[in-house]
Amino acid sequence: MIDWAHPFAFALLPLPIILRWLLPAFRQQDSALRLPFFRSLAEAAGVTPREGAAIIRHRRVALIGGAAIWVLAVAALAAPERLGPPQEITKAKRDVVLAIDISGSMDTRDFPGPDGTNQQRFQTVQQVVDQFVQSRDGDRVALIVFGTKAYVQSPLTEDLTTVRDLLERTEVGMAGPQTALGDAIGLAIHTFEASDIDQRLMVILSDGNDTSSTMSPINAAEIARDKGVQIFGVGVGDPEATGENRLDMAVLKDVTRRTGGQAYFAGDAQALEEIYDQIDALNPRDVETLSWRQRESLMHWPLLAAIMIGLGLTFALQASARRMSPAPTEGAT
């Protein structure tokens, strides 16, 4: 498909006709010597005298060639382009930060798996989170892991393959044995500072209570709310346990409530998958579709054609002028 980048340039096509109509014809007077025996000299020279006033008449080939050159020049000025097939890019206007608890308690094998046998808590969470990340096509995802300290495994990125690879390489205890839930929220807030997208979602997966944060989870949640971050919490531990291994669902509920999110308890892998479906239902993606077409400029073709016609016309007129011999004139004007 051919398109024109500057179609208004075609308004210049009638410009030569307008100029010919508005501007007067060129006139020139030359001095001449009047001879009383001019006709005798002309007969002796064997030439036929013509009128002294000469009107230059353009040849038809010159008019046609000039018109063609002008049309091609205007066509080049209009910038013809060849359009490629339409391309569409769907981009979700949402950033998601996943905060995964990898404290020592996540090594406990009491989490019912799909086959009914107890599996390691982190292993089950790892599998379900991997599926969740895989379905985030179009979202930017960041990965934070936390234990005694919180660390950014991956900043916000659309490269979901890298995020999944980093999640697969993550092991329990890499960040220490304790749980720094408040610091993880604070680090997520800092991660969102690189985002200019309004829809900011944080998902926390933890199996314990906060035991080592420098910032309390409640204070971190207040700051997250002011920054427009919505937090969803998923508890995967044992609410009946004691000490550091006890899942504090009350704190998760308080944190998520303050930011407009919700807290869930996942008793097994199937419940964990259903929780992610609920989070998607509560936060549908705001999708932005970008459409574009590749454009290839073709303006060099009419310019090349105009140059070739101009050169051919010039050579033809020069050759014709050499064959014409000048004739004497009678009188002067």
| pLDDT tens for the 333 residues of the chain, in order | 788 888 899 999 999 888 888 887 666 666 767 777 777 777 777 777 666 555 555 567 778 888 899 999 999 999 999 888 877 766 667 889 999 999 888 888 877 766 777 888 888 888 889 988 888 877 889 999 999 999 999 999 989 999 999 999 999 989 988 889 999 999 999 999 988 888 899 999 988 678 888 889 999 999 999 999 999 999 887 777 666 667 778 888 999 999 999 999 887 778 888 888 888 777 666 666 667 778 888 988 999 999 999 888 888 777 776 665 455 544 444
Residue (of 305, 303, 320) closest to 60 by Cα position: 320
Q: Strand 150-157 and strand 140-146: pairing?
A: antiparallel
Rounded Cα gap, residues 108 and 104, in angstroms: 8
Strand partners, 95: 140, 200
Residue ranges of domains in the chain: 2-85+294-330, 89-290
> Among 154, 87, 47, 32, which residue's Cα sits nearest to residue 292?
87
Closest CA to 137 of 119, 114, 161: 161
Q: What is the pLDDT of residue 57?
A: 56
Side-chain half-sphere CA neighbours of 282 within 13 A:
15
- Closest C-alpha to 150, from 98, 107, 105: 98
- pLDDT score for 183: 94
> Where do we find the tokens 């008019």?
63
Eight-class DSSP state of 293: -
Backbone φ and ψ of 257, nearest 5°: -65, -40
Match 């379905």 to its residue by tokens. Answer: 135
Q: What CATH class is the domain 89-290? A: alpha beta
**What is the Rg, in whole angstroms, of the alpha carbon atoms belonging to the chain?**
42
Q: How far apart are the first and last CA of the chain?
A: 58
pTM for the complete prediction? Answer: 0.62
101, 266 contact by CB (below 8 A):
no
Structure tokens that stand for 215 in this block = 């910032």
Q: Tokens for 190, please give them.
A: 């800092």
Q: Which of 144, 146, 142 is nearest to 159 (CA)?
A: 142
- The residue among 230, 235, 192, 193 whose CA lies nearest residue 210 is 235
Instruction: List 143's β-bridge partners, or say none.
Output: 98, 154
- Give the pLDDT of residue 36: 75
H or E, element range at 305: helix 300-323
The CA distance from 306 to 72, in Å, is 6
Backbone angles phi, psi at 21, to 5 degrees: -80, -35
Secondary structure (DSSP) of 30-76: ------TTHHHHHHHHT---EES-------HHHHHHHHHHHHHHHHH
Does an H or E element contain 278, and which?
A: helix 269-282
